[in-house]
Amino acid sequence: MAREKRIRPRPVVMLARKRVALDQPLPPTVWRRHEIPMPDYWKDFIDIFKNALGRGVVACSRVAEDPEIVLFIISWKSQEALDQFKASPEYAAILLFLGMIDPSGSDTTGATSSSPRTIQTVNFRFNAASYGIFLEGWLSIYTVTLPHPVTLTCTQKELFSQLEGPLYPRAQVIGSDYQLQLQDLPEATGDREYAYRGWVQEPRQLLGEGGEHIAVQDGVIFKKWLSKEAEEAWKTAIPGVEISWDDDLRGIGAIEAKEEHVDLVHICS
């Protein structure tokens, strides 16, 4: 009798953003919890995630491009675990803390807001959360917004692969001119550790120039680097590696694009 193949639940990742004054300290890392007490400002927020069933890693950082924004990345062991959390009273408390609902329970973001990115849930193509990508270190997050529903063309797929960047050294690289450049990439540049891409579950609507509502979906690419310097050296080593909005993204039908960088610390295991 053939053994039934066991399907492993695919992890999902939640991104939560909150604007916080620069003089407000962040939660201490798990490695320094015995030295630094948890600030009262964060205590209830962190306790909710600490006690949530099916929760994986919790990491956070200020966003380099806008340091008043604190980004939390929370991995979940399965979609079912996340759905159960979202159905709980604790999730409503999270939304209240993030400013997505007011004390009466009313939505404060607006269905047609141009940037309701306070919470995003990302389904990755691979089990990114199980590889420790969100533990600690320098991470670049590239978000490309496309009209919904999304059906990726060959050109769009190639551009998304270029946004992921090189994983090297390779034994041999053949293919497009972009890929051929990787053969000459100096080892001293410093490798990146992971790159994953996925789609945000939560729908969005943008307000068009004519006042019309446009349904969109965000594609997210996470790249985990050994250091900030490794990413900068990579960009220097390959001329033209950075994506041009006018020449590349707008050409594939993208509506928006945003790049963010965070230096993650592990605050809850």
- What are the structural domains, with CATH classification, of the chain? 12-268 (3.30.70)
Distance from C-alpha of 17 to C-alpha of 159, rounded to nearest angstrom = 27
pTM of the model: 0.79
Residue type at position 99: G
Position 146 scores a pLDDT of 84
Distance from C-alpha of 185 to C-alpha of 200, rounded to nearest angstrom = 32
Position 132 scores a pLDDT of 57
Position 267 scores a pLDDT of 86
Mean pLDDT of the chain: 75
Position 109 scores a pLDDT of 52
Distance from C-alpha of 146 to C-alpha of 156, rounded to nearest angstrom = 10
**Residue bearing tokens 């807001």:** 113
The three-state secondary structure class of 128 is: helix
Query: How many residues are present in the chain?
Result: 269
Position 69 scores a pLDDT of 93
Position 8 scores a pLDDT of 65
Distance from C-alpha of 9 to C-alpha of 24, rounded to nearest angstrom = 37
For 15, residues 6+ apart whose C-beta sits below 8 A from its C-beta are 71, 72, 73, 74, 117, 119, 120, 121, 122
Distance from C-alpha of 125 to C-alpha of 176, rounded to nearest angstrom = 23
Written as tens digits, the pLDDT of the chain (269 aa) is 555 556 666 778 899 999 999 999 998 887 666 677 888 999 999 999 988 998 888 999 999 999 999 999 998 888 999 999 999 999 999 989 988 765 554 555 544 443 446 888 888 766 655 555 666 788 888 888 888 887 777 666 666 666 666 544 444 444 444 444 444 444 434 445 567 778 888 878 888 778 888 888 888 888 888 788 877 877 776 655 565 655 667 777 788 888 899 999 888 77
Residue type at position 90: E
